[in-house]
Amino acid sequence: MTKYGFIGTGNMAKAMIQGLLKSGVQATDILVSSPRSASKLADTWGVLALSPQALIDESNVVVLAFLPNQLTRITNELHFDQQLIISVLAGISLSELQEATHSTEIVRTLPNVNVAINQGLIAFASGQLMAPNAQLFGQFTEKLGESTDLSEDQFTIFSAIAGSGPAFVFKYIKALSQAGINNGLSEEVATNIATKTVLGSAMMLASSDATAQELEDKVASPGGSTRAGLDDLDAENFDDAVKHAIKATMQHKHL
Ligand SMILES: NC(=O)c1ccc[n+]([C@@H]2O[C@H](COP(=O)([O-])OP(=O)(O)OC[C@H]3O[C@@H](n4cnc5c(N)ncnc54)[C@H](OP(=O)(O)O)[C@@H]3O)[C@@H](O)[C@H]2O)c1
């Protein structure tokens, strides 16, 4: 049985672990290591807490999920054999990862939080992996959602759209929902309507051959109320506001 080890058990590791558990991986096949929260996670989720080296020795897949600036301090004391290593460390290049781990069986990834419900998007870049590890990586990402092979210079834009994007979508849902509340709906009803509208529209686009623009035009008949709303969004420079937000996200430096 494949054993999945996580070094670092913060927000991203927890999201991935939730996704693995939901996909049917047994809690006892998930190993965790971190100075403070790993043992709590073992108590609550039934995963196993180990020292980092014991975790590496026991795992087929080791996920590096601590903060990017901790890389060399943590890996200096560790020895990797030929396990598959998956890094989620934002801003750390494949060559930096290979140097720090003394391994080429490593994949640089950037997952988004939707991995927690098996609907994640995972960008990845790797060198030539051994065949069993390439297979393991495919199985790992399939459990969590969808993966996309990108060049490393595309990670920043991927991060802005897919990594930060969920927050932008939540903000949009909140604004839609608030408009409902302002017009007499209860918070619960308004939030449900806004959430399901975004969810259904995204599913409609994902399952259609039409472009987003074509579907937009289908909903908005000329001279109709939706067209009036879209014209207002254009007048308020909605597209520019989104582009500016993406630019600000891309220009922000990682700590
Ligand atoms: N959050 C996201 O949406 C997201 C998206 C893409 C990529 N990432 C990447 O994911 C990584 C983790 O981010 P996060 O948001 O999950 O951060 P976080 O919630 O702050 O978690 C950091 C984790 O690192 C652990 N840690 C600290 N020192 C350690 C050590 N010496 N050995 C092992 N673990 C140690 C902490 O352990 P304790 O809990 O025991 O203190 C904590 O569990 C980062 O590299 C980030 O770039 C995050």
Q: What's the rounded mean pLDDT across residues 201-207?
A: 97
* pLDDT reported for residue 88: 97
How many Cα atoms within 13 Å fall on the side-chain side of residue 130? 11
CA distance 90 to 46: 28
For position 84, what pLDDT does the model report?
Answer: 98
Q: How many whole angstroms from 210 Cα to the centroid of ligand 1?
A: 39
The arithmetic mean of pLDDT across residues 116-139, rounded, is 97
Contacts of 172 (CB under 8 A, 6+ apart): 198
Nearest CA to ligand 1 atom 47: 90
3-state secondary structure of 168: helix
Identify the pLDDT of residue 252. 87
Domains of the chain: 4-152 (3.40.50.720), 163-251 (1.10.3730.10)
Taking only the tens place, the pLDDT of each residue in 32-60 is 999 999 999 999 999 999 999 999 999 99
Backbone angles phi, psi at 2, to 5 degrees: -65, 135
Question: Residue 171 half-sphere exposure, CB side, CA atoms within 13 Å?
Answer: 8
Please state the residue numbers annotated as binding site for NADP(+).
Answer: 7-12, 65-68
Which tokens go with 148?
């996309």
Cβ(51) to ligand 1 under 6 A?
A: no
pLDDT at 253 over 80: no
Q: Which two tokens stand for residue 127?
A: 């060198």
Alpha-carbon distances, residue 253 vs 150, 210, 230, 248, 249 (angstroms): 20, 36, 34, 10, 9
- Position 254 scores a pLDDT of 60
| Sheet containing strand 4-7, strands side by side | 48-49, 30-33, 4-7, 61-64, 84-87, 106-111, 120-126, 145-149
Per-residue confidence (pLDDT) for residue 255, from 0 to 100 = 54
CA dihedral 162, 114, 150, 215 (to 10 degrees): -60
**In the predicted model, what is the mean pLDDT of residues 123-152?**
97
> Does ligand 1 lie within 6 Å of residue 88's CB atom?
yes
Q: What is the pLDDT of residue 37?
A: 95
User: For a pLDDT cut of 70, what percent of the chain falls above it?
Assistant: 99
What mean pLDDT is predicted for residues 145-155?
97
